[in-house]
Amino acid sequence: MNKGGKFARIMKFGGSSVGSAERIRNVAKIVLDALRQAQGKPTKGGVAVVVSAMQGVTDKLLALDFDFVKEKHLAAAKELKVPAPMELLNELELVIKGIKLLGDASPMALDLVASFGERLSSQLVASYLNKKTLSIAVDSRELVKTDSNFQNAAVDFTATNRNIKKFFSKLVVSRQSSVVVPVITGFISSDSAGKTTTLGRGGSDYSGAIFGVALGVDVVEIWTDADGIMTADPRIVKSAATLPQVSYEEAFEMAYFGAKVVHPATMLPAIKKNIPVLIKNTFNPKHPGTVIIGSAAKDGKIVKNVSAIDGMSLINVGGTDLAGVPGTAERVFRAVSEAKANVVLIAQASSEHTICLAVRNFEADRAVNAIKKEFENEVRRGKVAVERRDSQSIVAVVGDNMRGTPGIVGRVFAALGAAKINVSAIAQGGSERNISCVVNEGDKTAAIRALHREFFENVGELKIFLVGTGVVGGELLKQINLQLTTNDLQLKICGIADVEKMYLSEKGIDLRNWKKSVRAGEKTDLSKFIAEAAVMGGEKVFVDCTASEKIAKMYPQLVKSGFHIVTPNKKFNVSSHKEYTNLRSLLATHQKSFHYDANVGAGLPVISTIKNLLAAGDQIKKIEGVFSGTLSYLFNNFDGKRKFSDLVAQAKALGYTEPDPKEDLSGQDVGRKLLILARETGLPAELAEVKLENLVKPDSYFAGRIKKAKAKKSVLRYVATVQNGRMAASLKEVPMGNPLASLSGADNVFAIYTKYYKNPLVIRGAGAGAEVTAAAVLNGILRIKNGKTN
């Protein structure tokens, strides 16, 4: 049953998404998925689709290349096994012939030709979808009404909204309780005389919003070939990152200044009804993409995006007569506007003798002539000169938080200057959400990269993102704060998350009252935490001070998103060997470090020592030791005079054990450390291969063992060993002279036997405790700061 035009979503697919038969099949899959989800909803049971012309088709139509267009659609129709759109193609052939014959490529004629792109693609997509679910092609020219400004028409919203509502309320389809999926042409419209108009290049995004808002959908979705709006065009900047959330204003400004992933006008209808616009990747539908809503992300980011528009001309109107003469600027702008040229940028030259404006190349003649005419007398007397420079680009940095943040213009200038790029004009937009500069077209790419580096890749200070503020996390912050006040550590904490709350700030969190900031932060959402952190520039370290397996599972994604990782959490390193090696190769590919020294022996340099020995060509023959502080304490104090269980109770009271001492006695934690060390020596081992003696046993067992040991002048130790590919831990008798015998308190000991160290290298000391563990984590962070990968 059709629910009377109640559409949950409008899904606009761009030219890249419908560029071939294979891609159209992929689009159908996405639409059918969406339909299934929508049909589960109580009210809005449908989805509506808007399509662009197939990739490259609009350009070819405007070049009057009929053959290309015909071949492309016939091939796609054949592959999709749908009827060839012969009627449309025949009509198109006639139109193109006519234009060529008359030599009339007026904007009006070109709009008619261009309209075939969307009409053809909507027919193909609808025919294919119709094989799976009920679907019809809808020609938007009958619904979207505009003025007669061909190629860039302005929408008459009153008529358009009325038409759309009426059309879709009458669209009753009742075959097998299906909901019809309309496949609407984007980009095209008609004027009051019924002549075909278009909304400007890239305008089908705008169509998506126009239909979405008229139909009252919950979300306008723009499906394209990038993972949302990124910090720069990913084709220009390899390290560009997705912006998870931007405001309507930011999105408008980014799009206006060249982020062509979405047409700027898209935001205008959406903003009025406060409907979110979602930018999604057709080729990576699982990626969350970018959501455009009323407010910018609270990520403390100042600059969000660097983009550029090509094909600009810079016009300088200068001369002594302009200085201080009131009304001059007004005359310039009136002349240009009457010539119907759109001023993209106005720059205030420092001299005040010059008015500087940027217009599109194809409007430059008009603009220059209009200005010359307006200042005819002054020009003749040589008092005013009008200069024009073509092949210019406007490069812009955009961000809501630029408002009221001083120093951005300076950074833009410095970054471009350092890259030896000549800036011929610079302007801060009226909204203060952007700073734009005019550069030579040839310098555009270098300018974008230089600015992206400045605002997103600046490796000045290492940015730390901490998850987990328990004993170790809290201690770590305390130690960092202490160091920051006395040393120039060159690092700052830009994000802290605990189980309940999280707080991010690119400027850095004041560690004197971090607790207050976190408490006032937002509800913890780790994906959001990571996404917002990932967008910040510079070298970033993710510090995991939890014992969470869920967070450990995120390490591969974190590395891909550009984070180094430092952690005392053992969970990742005991996952399957496949995951273990996969992460290692990801780290190599993305040139990121992973420091986990605190996994074994807390602050003791066990893992780093093994790494160093191996790097120097040594071979590890055997590692033997006492890896558990709790078990160390128990057997250092067990003399057989007291019951073993009493000793355990005492240790628990002193806080030496886990809340449930069975966890220590089971040996599980020793097993994990064994596996981590074994893997460190190159063994492709799994946790299940570790052989552990479980010490959850009756007192009589321990009484018997200690008696035997004493008789041999030995002591009892829970000894863990890695040797010959085997990992095992059990209660052993250790003779007095052995390095494992002379232990006190809750110390750990590691005896490393190697090709060079036949007498073992022994590392002994406190193997647990918040202070030593946090210090080991801080040491890992500082090693990254110093560019050490191990």
Q: Which is nearer to Mg ion, 20 or 239 (CB)?
A: 20
Cross-strand bridge partners of residue 496:
466, 503
Q: Which of 5, 46, 85, 117 binds ligand ASP (CB under 6 A)?
A: 117
Taking the complex as a whole, how short is the minimal distance between the CB of residue 135 and Mg ion, in angstroms? 23
In angstroms, rounded to a whole number, what is the distance separating the alpha carbons of residues 547 and 247? 36
305's contact among Mg ion, ligand ASP, ligand ADP, none, with CB below 5 to 8 A by partner kind, is: ligand ADP
Find the helix or strand (DSSP H, E) in which 394 lies: strand 385-398
Taking the complex as a whole, how short is the minimal distance between the CB of residue 60 and ligand ASP, in angstroms? 10
| Site mask for ligand ASP (CB under 6 A), range 7-46, x = bound | -------xx-------------------------------
In angstroms, rounded to a whole number, what is the distance separating the alpha carbons of residues 310 and 307? 10
Which tokens belong to 787? 């560019």
Taking the complex as a whole, how short is the minimal distance between the CB of residue 186 and ligand ADP, in angstroms? 9
Taking the complex as a whole, how short is the minimal distance between the CB of residue 292 and ligand ADP, in angstroms? 12
Q: Which is nearer to ligand ADP, 144 or 709 (CB)?
A: 144
389's contact among Mg ion, ligand ADP, ligand ASP, none, with CB below 5 to 8 A by partner kind, is: none
Q: Which residue minimizes CB distance to ligand ADP?
A: 14
Nearest 5°: CA angle at 223, between 218 and 224?
A: 155
Taking the complex as a whole, how short is the minimal distance between the CB of residue 108 and ligand ASP, in angstroms? 17
In angstroms, rounded to a whole number, what is the distance separating the alpha carbons of residues 240 and 530? 15
Please say whether the beta carbons of 636 and 647 come within 8 A. no
Binding site for Mg ion (CB under 5 A): 14, 202
Q: Which of 31, 47, 53, 683 binds ligand ASP (CB under 6 A)?
A: 53
Q: Which is nearer to Mg ion, 187 or 514 (CB)?
A: 187
Q: Which is nearer to ligand ADP, 233 or 374 (CB)?
A: 233
Q: Which is nearer to ligand ASP, 2 or 121 (CB)?
A: 121
Environment class of residue 564 by beta-carbon count within 10 Å: exposed (0-12), middle (13-18) or buried (19+)? Answer: buried
Nearest 5°: CA angle at 456, between 221 and 523?
A: 60
Residues between 180 and 199 with contacts to ligand ASP, criterion CB under 6 A: 186-187
Taking the complex as a whole, how short is the minimal distance between the CB of residue 612 and ligand ADP, in angstroms? 43
In angstroms, rounded to a whole number, what is the distance separating the alpha carbons of residues 109 and 92? 12
Nearest 5°: CA angle at 582, between 788 and 787?
A: 10
393's contact among ligand ADP, Mg ion, ligand ASP, none, with CB below 5 to 8 A by partner kind, is: none
Sheet containing 385-398: order of strands: 343-348, 354-360, 305-318, 385-398, 434-440, 425-428
17's contact among Mg ion, ligand ASP, ligand ADP, none, with CB below 5 to 8 A by partner kind, is: ligand ADP
Please say whether the beta carbons of 57 and 224 come within 8 A. no
Please say whether the beta carbons of 558 and 530 come within 8 A. yes
Residue 542 DSSP SS3: strand
Please say whether the beta carbons of 270 and 404 come within 8 A. no
122's contact among ligand ASP, ligand ADP, Mg ion, none, with CB below 5 to 8 A by partner kind, is: none
Q: Does residue number 621 form part of the binding site for ligand ASP (CB under 6 A)? A: no
Question: Residue-wise over 98-136: b if at least 16 C-beta within 10 A, else e?
Answer: ebeeeeeeeeebbbbbbbbbbbbbbbbbbbbbbeebbbb
- Give the DSSP letter of residue 217: -
201's contact among ligand ADP, ligand ASP, Mg ion, none, with CB below 5 to 8 A by partner kind, is: ligand ASP
Taking the complex as a whole, how short is the minimal distance between the CB of residue 263 and Mg ion, in angstroms? 6
Q: Does residue number 58 form part of the binding site for ligand ASP (CB under 6 A)? A: yes
Taking the complex as a whole, how short is the minimal distance between the CB of residue 326 and Mg ion, in angstroms? 43
Please say whether the beta carbons of 212 and 231 come within 8 A. no
Q: Which of 5, 19, 85, 202 binds ligand ASP (CB under 6 A)?
A: 202
681's contact among Mg ion, ligand ASP, ligand ADP, none, with CB below 5 to 8 A by partner kind, is: none
Taking the complex as a whole, how short is the minimal distance between the CB of residue 19 and ligand ADP, in angstroms? 8
Residue 677 DSSP SS3: helix
In angstroms, rounded to a whole number, what is the distance separating the alpha carbons of residues 630 and 652? 9
Taking the complex as a whole, how short is the minimal distance between the CB of residue 315 and ligand ADP, in angstroms? 26
229's contact among ligand ADP, Mg ion, ligand ASP, none, with CB below 5 to 8 A by partner kind, is: ligand ADP
Residue 541 DSSP SS3: strand
Strands 245-247 and 290-293: parallel
Q: Which of 46, 85, 203, 319 binds ligand ASP (CB under 6 A)?
A: 203
User: Torsion angle, CA of 696/697/702/703, rounded to 10 degrees?
Assistant: 140
Q: Which is nearer to ligand ASP, 256 or 750 (CB)?
A: 256
Q: Which is nearer to ligand ASP, 205 or 363 (CB)?
A: 205
Taking the complex as a whole, how short is the minimal distance between the CB of residue 68 and ligand ADP, in angstroms? 17
In angstroms, rounded to a whole number, what is the distance separating the alpha carbons of residues 264 and 398? 14
Q: Which of 60, 444, 673, 732 is labelled catalytic? A: 673
In angstroms, rounded to a whole number, what is the distance separating the alpha carbons of residues 741 and 789? 35
Q: Which is nearer to ligand ASP, 15 or 601 (CB)?
A: 15
605's contact among ligand ADP, Mg ion, ligand ASP, none, with CB below 5 to 8 A by partner kind, is: none
Nearest 5°: CA angle at 21, between 15 and 24?
A: 55
In angstroms, rounded to a whole number, what is the distance separating the alpha carbons of residues 451 and 423? 13
117's contact among ligand ADP, Mg ion, ligand ASP, none, with CB below 5 to 8 A by partner kind, is: ligand ASP
- 622 is a catalytic site residue: no
Q: Which of 3, 165, 195, 201 binds ligand ASP (CB under 6 A)?
A: 201
Residue 519's CB is within 10 A of a number of other CB atoms, namely 12
537's contact among Mg ion, ligand ADP, ligand ASP, none, with CB below 5 to 8 A by partner kind, is: none
Strands (E), 603-690: 620-626
Q: Does residue number 760 form part of the binding site for ligand ASP (CB under 6 A)? A: no
Which tokens belong to 218? 């919950």
Binding site for ligand ADP (CB under 6 A): 14-17, 52, 202, 224-226, 229-230, 232-235, 259-261, 305, 307
| Site mask for ligand ASP (CB under 6 A), range 142-181, x = bound | ----------------------------------------
Q: What is the CA radius of gyration of the chain?
A: 34
Q: Which is nearer to ligand ASP, 117 or 399 (CB)?
A: 117
Residues between 419 and 458 with contacts to ligand ASP, criterion CB under 6 A: none
232's contact among ligand ADP, Mg ion, ligand ASP, none, with CB below 5 to 8 A by partner kind, is: ligand ADP
Taking the complex as a whole, how short is the minimal distance between the CB of residue 257 and Mg ion, in angstroms? 15
**Piece of 50-58, 672-680, 720-728, 747-755 that binds ligand ASP (CB under 6 A):** 50-58
Strands 188-190 and 181-185: unpaired
Q: Which is nearer to ligand ASP, 45 or 203 (CB)?
A: 203
- The 3 state secondary structure assigned to 395-463 is EEEECHHHCCCCCHHHHHHHHHHHCCCCCCEEEECCCCCEEEEEEEHHHHHHHHHHHHHHHHCCCCCEE
In angstroms, rounded to a whole number, what is the distance separating the alpha carbons of residues 677 and 61? 65
**Piece of 202-210, 283-291, 628-636, 693-701 that binds ligand ASP (CB under 6 A):** 202-210
In angstroms, rounded to a whole number, what is the distance separating the alpha carbons of residues 610 and 618? 9
User: Phi and psi (nearest 5°) for 218?
Assistant: -80, -25
Taking the complex as a whole, how short is the minimal distance between the CB of residue 65 and ligand ASP, in angstroms? 14
Per CB under 6 A, residues contacting ligand ASP are: 14-15, 52-53, 58, 117, 186-187, 201-205
Q: Which residues belong to the active site?
A: 673
